[in-house]
């Protein structure tokens, strides 16, 4: 296990100055030199840490910064008589560092949910769900190697076949038979909204702390964190329309649902929650473009207008779903469905490509009719 992957979530290291501290300007210069020395140490001891500077913060003296969540702060550090820290080290969670790089036969996801305690207060609950292709002894061995902090025991494991594992992940945990998947009885209507983000680097402790705050809000929802990696990272982006493969570490799913009573004000509060979480996550997720998942169609990204949306207009959401594959898909659309018989709010518009041979040119070039 790498040196910094064994650190517990939200653990912070404070390097405090002595009571006979130098003046603020000297303190700032001293912190800068200390930070550089510390970063060199981190790079030497943990060479696989992509950018250790993201873990270290050097506040210029003063009171304790808001980076440190209040439940974790020491009372001594909250006192105005205590000098401010020279450096704050905010290691990422163990799961973030290793989950996407686990063996191909081991999958570990995390769910953040609100839980109401005996006093009626909503608190964040973190649930780990795992799937291992093997017996429980192999599972315990692998988890002991890669995630020893979870301290998995035989009593935490249940052996089952693959179809039973699908029942488990879909919420059928009371021994229901696989035939429940064949039940086509209409269920009570529920409304829901899902947004999904992809991360290309681990989220820092400040981002996780923010999610814990959002998860306990009234009329909020849940957040699932699924690792990427594994076999997906071996398939080139251009091989299939689904492009979010190599280079993506996790996806974050923000999910909220409400009952069949379509009360507009009630609905807006739920939608406001999921949109708010999505907005707050902007600094931590993929960009240029900010990736999205086509199976969680998000009309907030934009939509077709009566089937007349151009390729250039549709790129706003199309590249988020398909990245560089969007252009190829639009060209296929022009070949097989130029009249857009198959159409939806975010269907792919046809991109007509005309071939024109210019004077002196040996091969035909592509001219886009957009």
Task: Give the residue, 70 or 228, on which the prediction is more confident.
Answer: 228
Using pLDDT thresholds of 50, 70 and 90, give the confidence band for residue 28: very low
Looking at the structure, tell me whether residues 205 and 272 fall in a common domain. yes
Tell me: do 70 and 212 sit in the same domain.
no
- In this prediction, residue 128 carries a pLDDT of 87
Residue 337 has pLDDT above 80, yes or no: yes
Output the pLDDT for position 65: 44
Q: What is the mean pLDDT of the chain?
A: 76
What is the mean pLDDT of the segment spanning 60-74? 42
Q: Give the pLDDT confidence score for residue 254 in this predicted structure.
A: 96
User: What is the arrangement of strands in the sheet containing 122-132, beginning at the earlier edge strand?
Assistant: 122-132, 106-116, 222-227, 250-258, 191-199
Number of H helices, E strands in the chain: 9, 10
Residue 130 β-bridge partners: 108
Residue 289 within a domain: no
Q: Does the pLDDT at position 56 exceed 80?
A: no
> pLDDT value at position 354?
72
Percentage, residues of the chain above pLDDT 90:
32
Give the distance, in angstroms, between the CA of residue 195 and the centroid of all CA atoms in the same chain: 10
* DSSP string for residues in 8-24: PTT--EEEEPPSS---H
In the numeric block, the tokens 């163990």 are attached to 94
User: Is 227 inside a domain boundary?
Assistant: yes
User: How confident is residue 87, by pLDDT bands cut at 50, 70 and 90?
Assistant: low
User: Cβ distance 317 to 339 under 8 Å?
Assistant: no
Do 13 and 37 fall within a single domain?
A: yes
Flag whether 159 is in a domain. no
What is residue 263's predicted lDDT score, i.e. its pLDDT?
Answer: 62
13 token code pair: 């290291």
Same domain, 328 and 233: no
Q: How far apart are the C-alpha atoms of 102 and 150, rounded to whole Å?
A: 15
- What pTM value is reported for the model? 0.69
Higher pLDDT, 277 or 356: 277
Task: Report if residue 49 sits inside a domain.
Answer: yes
Give the pLDDT score at 349.
Answer: 93
71 occurs within a structural domain:
yes
Which is more confidently placed, 93 or 323? 323
User: Do 84 and 101 have their domain in common?
Assistant: no
Residue 205, pLDDT score? 82
C-alpha span between 252 and 267 (Å, rounded): 22
- pLDDT exceeds 50 at position 76: no
Q: Is the pLDDT of residue 275 over 60?
A: yes
pLDDT value of residue 204: 85
Question: What are the CA-CA distances from residue 192 to residues 218, 219, 226, 258 (Å)?
Answer: 16, 12, 20, 6
Please give the residue range of the domain that contains residue 129. 96-152+186-284
CA separation for the pair 155, 193 (Å, rounded):
35
State which H helix or E strand residue 352 sits in.
strand 352-356
Count structural domains, the chain. Answer: 3
State in Å, rounded, how far the first CA of the chain is from the last one.
53
Q: What is the CATH number of the domain that holds 105?
A: 3.40.462.20
The separation between CA 356 and the C-alpha centre of its own chain, rounded to angstroms, equals: 45
Check residue 299 and give its pLDDT.
93
Q: Which helix (H) or strand (E) holds 124?
A: strand 122-132
Cα–Cα nearest to 243, from 278, 198, 283, 279? 198
Please indicate whether residue 73 or residue 189 has the higher confidence score (pLDDT).
189
């Amino acid at each position: 296990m790498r040196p910094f992957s064994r650190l517990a979530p939200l653990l912070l290291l404070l390097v405090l100055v002595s009571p006979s501290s130098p003046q603020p300007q000297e303190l700032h210069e001293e912190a800068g030199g200390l930070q550089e020395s510390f970063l060199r140490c981190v790079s030497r001891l943990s060479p696989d840490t992509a950018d250790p500077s993201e873990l270290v913060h050097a506040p210029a003296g003063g009171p304790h910064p808001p980076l440190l969540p209040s439940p974790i702060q020491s009372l001594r550090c909250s006192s105005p008589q205590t000098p401010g820290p020279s450096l704050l080290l905010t290691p990422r969670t163990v799961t973030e560092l290793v989950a996407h790089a686990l063996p191909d036969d081991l999958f570990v996801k995390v769910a953040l949910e609100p839980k109401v305690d005996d006093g009626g207060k909503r608190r964040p609950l973190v649930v780990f769900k795992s799937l291992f292709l093997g017996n429980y002894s192999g599972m315990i061995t692998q988890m002991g190697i890669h995630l020893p902090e979870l301290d998995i025991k035989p009593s935490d494991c249940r052996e089952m076949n693959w179809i039973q594992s699908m029942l488990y992940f879909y919420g059928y945990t009371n021994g229901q038979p696989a035939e429940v998947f064949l039940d086509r009885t209409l269920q009570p209507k529920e409304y829901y909204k899902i947004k999904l983000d992809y991360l290309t680097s681990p989220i820092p402790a400040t981002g996780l702390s923010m999610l814990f705050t959002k998860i306990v809000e009234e009329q909020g929802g849940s957040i699932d964190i699924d690792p990427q990696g594994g076999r997906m990272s071996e398939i080139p982006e251009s091989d299939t329309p689904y492009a979010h493969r190599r280079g993506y570490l996790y996806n974050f799913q923000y999910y909220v649902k409400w009952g069949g009573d379509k009360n507009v004000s009630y609905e807006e509060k739920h939608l406001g929650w999921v949109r708010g979480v999505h907005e707050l996550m902007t600094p931590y997720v993929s960009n240029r473009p900010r990736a999205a998942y086509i199976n969680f169609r998000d009309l907030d990204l934009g939509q077709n207008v009566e089937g007349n949306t151009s390729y250039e207009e549709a790129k706003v959401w199309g590249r988020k779903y398909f990245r560089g594959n969007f252009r190829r898909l639009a060209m296929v659309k022009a070949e097989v469905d130029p009249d857009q018989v198959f159409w939806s709010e975010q269907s792919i518009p046809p991109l007509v490509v005309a071939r024109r041979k210019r004077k002196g040119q040996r091969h035909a070039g592509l001219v886009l009719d957009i």
